[in-house]
Amino acid sequence: LFYQNKSMSKYVSLVPTSAHTGEGVPDMLKLIVQLTQERMVGSLMYLSEVQATVLEVKAIEGFGMTIDVVLSNGILREGDRIVLCGTEGAIKTNIRALLTPAPLRELRLKSAYVHNKEVKAALGVKISAPGLEGAIAGSRLMVVGPDDDEDDIEDEVESDLAVLFNRVEKSGRGVSVQASTLGSLEALLDFLKDCKIPVANVRIGPVYKRDVMQCGIMLEKAPDYAIMLCFDVKVDKEAQAYAEDQGIRIFTADIIYHLFDAFTKHMDEQLEKKKEESKMLAVFPCVLKPVKVFNKNDPIIIGVDVTEGQLRINAPIAAVRSNPTTGAKEIIKLGRV
């Protein structure tokens, strides 16, 4: 275990964690920071090329829609042309303001922000720019330099989403998946693939009515898959009401395993429902040998020996006799057990 390991270079540290309670995650993060800060300092290398990742998208009073970004390498300046992933395609815009928190304050807390003409890696920065409404958390942010082709950068940014969309079931039959960030969507798709659950649609961000309508296509193709698995996202009230009206199930959870449990339980319930509906249609063959007749009128009560097969409730039974004239065998239906 990690707290017993006195020689990090010789032995691998094990950190027990729980996906249900979250225990052990702080210990794991502490160990990662410790290893990187103490043992990998010599491997750190600063690059002039901008490397940044979008962490969160939110509206801030006075600035409109903003994005929180981790700048790993390079320098960002006011007025820079940036490209990042959006729900409706790549977003191309110019940086209007680079905001950092006041000293000893966190970026996610509401406080007075410091305006910067430029910021240098590595740090977290809030970016205000036009057209950030559909920005996707977890996506890369790239800067268009004077010698760069904006279309090439746009294609590179969109390739992150293209990889995920390629995992969608080509037959068009499967559940709809929605997650809060690019990373969480990727993790959810990997998990569903391991569980052999087909996926027909994927989206990032809150669930709106249009998303439920797209999922509703499954009601005609495969009603069992008219389901939305939503990981760490909010569901709009109108979307929830529409889903209930159309018979579409929406499962939400902050833990992937809880989504899987809810989906599995739902599919088991659907299977039991189908069994109940079709039990009158299913026939289990059997051969009966009458032993004694207790009642010849309705209801007929006969004592029998089951010589072959299985005799079940609601099984149709019949008697076979030979026609005295033609000798052909005739079947006389006696009803159901």
The sign of the torsion formed by the CA atoms of 19, 25, 27, 31 equals positive
- The pLDDT value recorded for residue 310 is 83
The domain segmentation of the chain, as residue ranges, is 2-43, 51-162, 167-278, 286-336
Question: Rounded CA gap, 155 and 92, in Å?
Answer: 12
> Per the structure block, which two tokens stand in for 312?
């079940």
CATH 3.60.15.10 assigned to 167-278: no
29 burial type by CB count under 10 A (0-12 exposed, 13-18 middle, 19+ buried):
exposed
Task: Assign a CATH topology to domain 51-162.
Answer: Elongation Factor Tu (Ef-tu); domain 3 (2.40.30)
The confidence score (pLDDT) of residue 104 equals: 62
User: In b/e form, how buried is each residue of 125-160, taking b as 16+ CB within 10 angstroms?
Assistant: bbbbbeebebbbbbbbbbbbeeeeeeeebbeebbeb
Outline where DSSP puts E strands in the chain: 51-60, 64-73, 75-77, 81-86, 89-94, 97-101, 113-116, 118-120, 123-128, 140-143, 175-179, 199-204, 227-231, 249-253, 286-295, 301-309, 316-322, 329-336
pLDDT at position 16: 93
Task: Note the pLDDT of residue 170.
Answer: 59
| DSSP assignment string, 211-258 | HHHHHTTHHHH-GGG-EEEEES--B-HHHHHHHHHHT-EEEEESSHHH
| Per-residue pLDDT tens digits of the chain, which is 337 residues long | 888 888 888 888 899 999 888 899 999 999 988 888 777 777 777 677 888 888 888 888 888 888 899 998 888 889 889 998 887 788 899 989 898 887 766 655 566 788 889 888 778 899 998 888 888 888 888 888 888 888 888 888 888 777 777 767 656 788 889 888 888 888 888 888 888 888 888 888 888 898 899 888 888 888 888 899 998 888 889 999 999 998 889 999 888 888 888 888 888 888 888 887 777 677 788 888 888 888 877 778 888 888 888 888 878 888 888 877 777 888 888 777 7
Q: Is 189 helix (H, G, I), strand (E, B) or coil?
A: helix
Determine whether domain 286-336 maps to CATH 3.90.480.10: no
The pLDDT value given to residue 17: 92
Question: What pLDDT was estimated at residue 283?
Answer: 79
Q: What's residue 29's pLDDT?
A: 92
Compute and round to an integer the Cα radius of gyration of the chain. 31
Rounded CA-CA distance 67/48 in Å is 22
Question: Does the pTM exceed 0.85?
Answer: no
Interatomic CA distance for residues 25 and 35, integer angstroms: 15
286-336 and 51-162 share a CATH fold: yes
Check residue 106 and give its pLDDT.
60
